[in-house]
Amino acid sequence: MLGHGGTYCFFLRRRTGLGRACRLRARSYNGLVRTIAVTNQKGGVGKTTTVANLGAALAQHGLDVCLLDLDPQAHLTMHFGIDPSSAPATMYEVLTAEVPLSRAAVLAEPHLTIVPSVIDLAAAEVELAGVVGREQVLADALAAEPLPYELLLVDCPPSLGLLTLNALAAAKEVLIPLQPHFLALQGLGKLLETVALVQRRINPALRVFGIVLCLYESGTRLAAEVAEDVRQFLAAARASECPWSQTRIFTTRVRRNIKLAECPSHGTTIFRYDPLSRGAEDYQALAEEFLSTGADGELTCAATETDNACPPEPAQSSEPCPPAEPAMPQEGTYRPCQPPASPAGTPPEPSAPPRAEDSQPPSSKP
């Protein structure tokens, strides 16, 4: 259950209510620390926001976290107020010039390091196109030197191109931020197919660790229905050999909160910008739920709130992986958002009364 290396011990009480000690240790994989690719080929679903704020929350718990900005848009880099032109090096040099990752690493906060991106990274896809082993460049960079981190979170670009393939080849786990609406589900099928392909051909250990619902509209029926569809889809894969057969949906949902949209323009995380906001509350809860899973996502606590929190053991005789796409709701058959049929109908999502900060549309990035 416990991995090798790392010595952090956390007492989880708040959201899990377990009140028991959970010991989290980083586990080496091919000499690497626990590496999670945070990906979804759809843009604007909360990848960067999750990497920044989940990473910051975990760092505040004492975990040594490194965030890799693998998106040429460099939103994560900007989120921490880092100017790529003044950084010693960026992911571009790491991927194209074999510059050691440690030379590009910038300490943003205690326990929290960022490897910045720059727009040049877009050219890396073209430059690497003719390179043998082009999907393994990031994996090689991570393996080239001992890294003093327990957790690497990779912020992927909104595509399934070479940069994302590098992240999937270098990681052992995938975390998928999902905005609950119909198109997001279609995209999930495509993403899972890609993960399955990478797992088969490049990285046999790869699996989908979790799905986190972001920009969640509490109280809307559509969000609840999509969440339920994802849950059923994952439940149907439990006995298979899919990379998502043990995937959990985090019970913590990151609600839409304007403070989360504002903090990047202040070059900081939600915990420094507005620690009392719902955004801070949600990412803190997500971090605690994350920590209640053991190394490599195994549960070390009996967090049996739902079957998502504690997925069952895989069946003895596993079935082959079913195709991802057909299992997803098809366009035209998806249940539209409807008012409850009767007072006894499906109850709305439990939610606290809205605050002013929750009702405003998100502002654009700097």
Q: Is 267 in the site for ligand ADP (CB under 6 A)?
A: no
Binding at 6: pick from Mg ion, ligand ADP, none (beta carbon under 5-8 Å per type)? none
Cα 17 to Cα 156, 252, 280, 303: the distances in Å are 33, 13, 19, 9
Piece in contact with ligand ADP (CB under 6 A), picked from 6-14, 101-109, 198-206, 253-261:
253-261
DSSP 227-277: HHHHHHHHHHTTTB--TTTT-EE-S---B--HHHHHGGGGTS-HHHH-TTS
Q: Looking at beta carbons, which residue is closest to Mg ion?
A: 48
Site membership for Mg ion, residue 79 (CB under 5 A): no
CB of 264 to ligand ADP, least distance (A): 6
What tokens were used for 171? Answer: 């990681």
Burial classification of residue 326, based on how many CB atoms lie within 10 Å of its CB (0-12 exposed, 13-18 middle, 19 or more buried): exposed
Contact call for residue 47 and Mg ion (CB under 5 A): yes
Q: Answer with the entry of ligand ADP, Mg ion, none that 254 interacts with (C-beta below 5 to 8 A by kind).
A: ligand ADP
Q: Which of residues 146-165 bind ligand ADP (CB under 6 A)?
A: 158
State in angstroms the smallest separation of the CB of 75 from Mg ion.
5
From 16, 40, 41, 48, residue interacting with Mg ion (rule: CB under 5 A): 48
Q: Does 75 bind ligand ADP (CB under 6 A)?
A: yes
Smallest distance from ligand ADP to CB 141, Å: 22
Q: Which does 264 bind (CB under 5 to 8 A by kind): Mg ion, ligand ADP, none?
A: ligand ADP
User: Vertex 269, ends 46 and 45: CA angle to 5°?
Assistant: 5
Residue 75 in the binding site for Mg ion (CB under 5 A): yes
* The pair of three-digit structure tokens given for residue 237, joined into one six-digit string: 């894969």
- For β-strands 173-178 and 112-115, DSSP reports them as unpaired
Please check whether residue 142 is in contact with residue 35, taking contact to mean a CB–CB distance below 8 angstroms.
yes
Point out which residues bind ligand ADP (CB under 6 A). 43-49, 75, 158, 214-215, 254, 256-258, 260-261, 264, 362, 365
